Structure 1
Amino acid sequence: MNICYIAQTAVPGKTAESIYVMQMCQAYSSLGHHVTLMVPKQPETIDLQDEDIFAFYGLRHRFTIRKIRLPHWCPDIFSYGMWMPLTILPNRPDLVHSRCLAPAWGVANLFRLPTILEIHNAPSSNAWPQKLFARLMASQNLRALVVITQALANHVKPILPPHTRLLVAPDGIDAEQLCRPDSLAAARAELGLSHEKRRIVVYTGHLYRGRGIELIIELAQYMSDHLFLIVGGRESDIEYYRQQTGQLDNLLLVGFKPPSQVFTYLQAADALLMPHGHRVENSGGRDMAAFTSPMKMFEYMAAGRPILASTLPVLQEVLHDGVNALLQPYDEPSQWTAALRRLQQDNKLAKALGNQARLDVQQYTWDKRVERILEQSGF
C-alpha cells in the first residue's frame, strides 16, 4: 500500500514523539509498504552534519520524509487541517495514518481518503477541536481510532459513535533490540564504565515535571554505593539539575544521546528507574499520567534489566509487581531505597525480573503493532 503518515513533531528531534513517529514509519516500511512521513518544516533542533537521519534514529528501513512549509497567515488548526491534506492529494495514498486531529479530519471528511487517527491523550475540551473530533468520528472514511492504553480507551469510548473501531495498541520496541547480545560488560566497556565498582542505576528520557528526577536525586543522596545515570533532557533542564546536584559524585547527568545509543546505557545498568509521579507532563506541558504508555518502559523491558517503577495505575497494564518489575509509590523514597537494596542482595530476583520483562515485551514490537492496526482496521 501507499501509506502517508502525518505528525507534528520535529524530525530530527529529541522528543519521544519524534522517535515514535520514525519507528512507526519504519515498521510500515518493513512490512513492504511505500511510506511517506509528512511533518511541518521547522527550525532544525539537531545538527546531524554528515550523519544520516536514519542512522541517527538507529533505523534499518528507509522511507520518504517530506517537510511541509505551512502558511503563516492562517491559524494552525486551519492550515494543518487543510494545507497538509492538500499536499497529500497528488499521491492519493491508500491509507493516511495521522497523529494530529486537524489533518485527519481534512483527509477523511473533505477528501474522503481512508484514515486512521491515533491519540495519546484525552481529546481537547476546546470547542473547535471537539467539533472536529466529533465530525471525524462520524466519518465513514475513518477506519479506526487508535489509543495507547486501555485507560484511554475507557475514557473516550462513551463519546464515540457505535460504529467507531477503537483499537488499543501500546507503544513498542524495535525487534532488533531483542537480537542484540545481552552483555553488561560489553555495554560498560563501550561507555567507558568498565572500571566502575558501584552498582549502576539508569534513567532515560526527558526531565519534564513528573518524571521523578527529584526522587532520583534523593536516592543518590541516600545510596553512595550506587551510581545514578540520567540520560536525556533539554539543555536548560540539564543545567538546572546540575546546579542542584553539583555536590553529588554518584549522580551523572549524561545529557541527550541519539536514540541509536540509548539502548547501550540500558544494557550497562544493574537496575532501571521509571519513577513517574501523579502528574506526568509531555513536551507540550500536558498531563499524561492517566493515559501514558512510555516508550522507555518497553525499551527497559527489552534490555532485560530489573525495572523499578511507580504504582501509577496505567503502567500496571504492562508492569506487574514481583513478576516483571518492582513497583513502589512515587512519594515513598524509603520504599525505592529498599527495592534497590533488595535487588542488590538478591541477584536471582533481579535476573528473574529482567528475564520476564524481556519475555513479555516480545509481543510489543513495532512491526507487530502495525500488523495489528492494519488487520483490525480492515486492511
Structure 2
Amino acid sequence: MKKHYIYFIKEELPKPEAHLVQSTNAANAAANLGYSTVLVYPCKGKEALNPINLINPFRPRKTPEKLIKYYNLQEKLKVSPLPMPFPIDYIKTKFTNSNTIASKYYFPFHILSTTKIVHSRDWNFIEAAVKNGVPAIYEHHHHENKPFAQEIVNSPLFQIAVTVADTVRESMIANGMPPEKVIKLHNGYNRLFMERHPEAATEWRKKLLQNGREKLVVYSGALEQFKGIDILVDVAQQLPQVQFVCAGGKEKQVKHYKQIAKDKQVDNITFLGFILQQELASLLQAADILAHPHCSGKAATFTSPLKLFDYFASGTPIVSTRIPSLKDFENTSSISAWCEPDSSTEFTASVTRILETHPRKIAGYSDSIEFVKQYSWENRAEKILSYVDESFRPQITNVET
C-alpha cells in the first residue's frame, strides 16, 4: 500500500544548519497532522555497515532521541537513514555520490513501493520521484541561475514548488518554473517555543548576566557577516552596560567572532555556539530584547527569517533590520523597532529605546504570541498540501493529540 509521505534530506543528521532545522521541522509537522511521514537521509560510519540496514535499507522506525532533542521533534515522525558505506562520498565520482545512490538506487528499488508523495529541497530526488510516477513537492529557498527541466515541472505529478521569498519565486519563474506551480510561504515556529519556561529562563539570566549588568540582548542564528554579526559586536561596544549573547554558528565562526570581540576589547558579548532547540526556547524567553540585525545586499532579498518566528513565539521584544524578505511584517507591532541595514548607530539607538519602553515580561508580550500562531509548522504543512491534488495526498493515519 502506498501510504508514506517521504521527506528527503541529502545530508547526514544531525548538523547545526538552519536549512536542516527547517526541513526536519517541516517533516515533523506533517507527522503531527497525522500523516505517515518518514524522514529519509544518508547515514555513514558504523551504522552504514550494519547488515540489516544493507539488506533492508528502507525501514521506517522511531526517531532517535538525539534527533528529537537536537531539532525539537515529536514522536510521531519516523526516520529511515539510508546506509552509505565506503566508498560512497569518499571517492568523488557521480556513481559514488550519496545523492546519486539515494535517487537512482534506494528510491526506485526500496522506497518507491510504499511512497504516496515526496517532499524535498533536493532537485535530484524530486526528479527521481516524478520519473518513477510519484507526485512531488519541491522546496527552493535560494536564488539559483539554472533552468528547471521542463519535462519535470510541467508534469502533472510535479504538484507545487514552495519558497519563502517573493524574489526567489520571481527568479524561479524566470528559470522556467510555471507561475501557477510556485507559491511563497513563510517558515514557521516550533510548538516548544510557545510553551513558557520561567525557571530555565531565570537560570539563563543568572548564568549570562555578568559584571552587574541587568539587561540581556540575545541573537539566535548563523554567525555570517551578511547576518549582521559585525554590526552586533559594534552595538555591544556602544552599550557596555548591556550583556549581548549569540547562540548558533559553527565552531570556526564562533572562534572568529570571539577574536573580533577580543580585538575590539568588547567584553559584553558572549558566543555560545550551537545549542539544542530544547534549550533555545528558554534562552529567547530569558532575553530583554531579541536582535535581528542584517546587512544590505543580495542575501537580504531572500534570506529565510527562520529564527524570527521562534522570536515571535517567545513573546520577547524584537529589534530588527528592515530588509526585503521581512516586508510582510513591517506593519505588525510584534516587532518593536525597525532599523535600516548596515547601521550600528541606529541599531544601538533602537536597543536603548526599547529597553526603556518595553520592560521584560515573564509571560511574554501577548500580542506577539497571538500573532505568530498563524505561522505554526503544522499550518504551513496544511497550506502546502491544499495545493496537492486530492488523489495524491497521503491518508491521515493517526490524529494529532
1:273 aligns with 2:273: no
Looking at structure 1, the residues matched to 34 and 133 of structure 2 have their Cα atoms a distance apart, in angstroms, of: 24
Query: What secondary structure is seen at the aligned counterpart in 1 of 2:304?
Result: coil
**Per-residue deviation, residues 122-164 of structure 1 (Å, max 9, x unmatched):** 2343xxxx353x3321112101111112332233234446584
CA contact under 8 A between 2:21 and 2:71: conserved in structure 1? Answer: yes
Q: Letter of the 1:148 partner, please give it.
A: V
2:168 is matched with which residue?
152
1:177 is matched with which residue?
193
Q: Letter of the 2:317 partner, please give it.
A: P
**Per-residue deviation, residues 305-329 of structure 1 (Å, max 9, x unmatched):** 1111111111122344755331111
CA contact under 8 A between 1:210 and 1:278: conserved in structure 2? Answer: yes
Looking at structure 2, the residues matched to 158 and 216 of structure 1 have their Cα atoms a distance apart, in angstroms, of: 36
Alignment map for 1:130-279 (pairs within 5 Å): 130-132=147-149, 134-160=150-176, 162=178, 164-178=180-194, 180-181=195-196, 183=198, 186-190=200-204, 192-193=206-207, 197-246=213-262, 247-279=265-297
- Aligned counterpart in structure 2 of residue 112 of structure 1, from 117, 133, 150: 133
Alignment map for 1:34-183 (pairs within 5 Å): 34-42=36-44, 52-69=66-83, 71-72=88-89, 73-74=93-94, 76=97, 78-79=100-101, 81-108=103-130, 110-125=131-146, 130-132=147-149, 134-160=150-176, 162=178, 164-178=180-194, 180-181=195-196, 183=198
CA contact under 8 A between 2:138 and 2:160: conserved in structure 1? Answer: yes
Give the Å deviation of 1:3: 0.7
1:336 aligns with 2:350: no
Query: What secondary structure is seen at the aligned counterpart in 1 of 2:203?
Result: helix
Describe the shift of the 1:161–1:10 C-alpha distance in structure 2 as closer, same or farther (beyond 3 A). closer
1:293 aligns with 2:304: yes
Give the Å deviation of 1:224: 1.0
Looking at structure 1, the residues matched to 111 and 272 of structure 2 have their Cα atoms a distance apart, in angstroms, of: 44
Describe the shift of the 1:89–1:255 C-alpha distance in structure 2 as closer, same or farther (beyond 3 A). closer
Looking at structure 1, the residues matched to 225 and 138 of structure 2 have their Cα atoms a distance apart, in angstroms, of: 27
Alignment map for 1:25-40 (pairs within 5 Å): 25-40=27-42
CA contact under 8 A between 1:308 and 1:326: conserved in structure 2? Answer: yes
Residues paired across the two proteins, number: 358
Give the Å deviation of 1:23: 1.0
2:59 is matched with which residue?
none
**Per-residue deviation, residues 92-124 of structure 1 (Å, max 9, x unmatched):** 31111111111101110x201011111111234
Query: What secondary structure is seen at the aligned counterpart in 2 of 1:289?
Result: helix
List alignment gaps of at least 5 residues for structure 2. Answer: 47-63, 394-401
Looking at structure 2, the residues matched to 257 and 323 of structure 1 have their Cα atoms a distance apart, in angstroms, of: 25
1:17 is matched with which residue?
19
Give the Å deviation of 1:253: 1.0
CA contact under 8 A between 2:135 and 2:157: conserved in structure 1? Answer: yes
CA contact under 8 A between 2:72 and 2:190: conserved in structure 1? Answer: no
Give the Å deviation of 1:80: 5.3
1:361 aligns with 2:375: no
**Per-residue deviation, residues 203-253 of structure 1 (Å, max 9, x unmatched):** 011212311111111011110111000111111111111122233221111
Describe the shift of the 1:224–1:87 C-alpha distance in structure 2 as closer, same or farther (beyond 3 A). farther
Q: Letter of the 1:63 partner, please give it.
A: L
Give every structure 1 segment of 4 or more consecutive aligned residues whose post-TM-superposition deviation is greater than 4 Å.
Answer: 69-72, 75-81, 158-164, 348-351
Query: What secondary structure is seen at the aligned counterpart in 1 of 2:6?
Result: strand
CA contact under 8 A between 1:167 and 1:376: conserved in structure 2? Answer: no
Q: Letter of the 1:209 partner, please give it.
A: Q
Say which structure, 1 or 2, has more relative contact order (CA 8 Å, 6+ apart): 2
Q: Letter of the 2:305 partner, please give it.
A: P
- Aligned counterpart in structure 1 of residue 383 of structure 2, from 350, 369, 372: 372
Describe the shift of the 1:173–1:346 C-alpha distance in structure 2 as closer, same or farther (beyond 3 A). same
1:346 aligns with 2:383: no
Looking at structure 2, the residues matched to 241 and 13 of structure 1 have their Cα atoms a distance apart, in angstroms, of: 20
2:399 is matched with which residue?
none
Which is worse superposed, 90-99 or 69-78?
Answer: 69-78
CA contact under 8 A between 1:19 and 1:259: conserved in structure 2? Answer: no
Looking at structure 2, the residues matched to 194 and 205 of structure 1 have their Cα atoms a distance apart, in angstroms, of: 18
Describe the shift of the 1:42–1:66 C-alpha distance in structure 2 as closer, same or farther (beyond 3 A). same
Looking at structure 2, the residues matched to 162 and 241 of structure 1 have their Cα atoms a distance apart, in angstroms, of: 43
1:7 is matched with which residue?
9
Looking at structure 1, the residues matched to 233 and 254 of structure 2 have their Cα atoms a distance apart, in angstroms, of: 13
Normalised to the residue count of structure 1, the TM-score between the two structures is 0.85
Q: Letter of the 1:74 partner, please give it.
A: K
Looking at structure 1, the residues matched to 335 and 179 of structure 2 have their Cα atoms a distance apart, in angstroms, of: 37
Give the Å deviation of 1:34: 1.2
Backbone CA RMSD of aligned residues = 2.8
Normalised to the residue count of structure 2, the TM-score between the two structures is 0.81
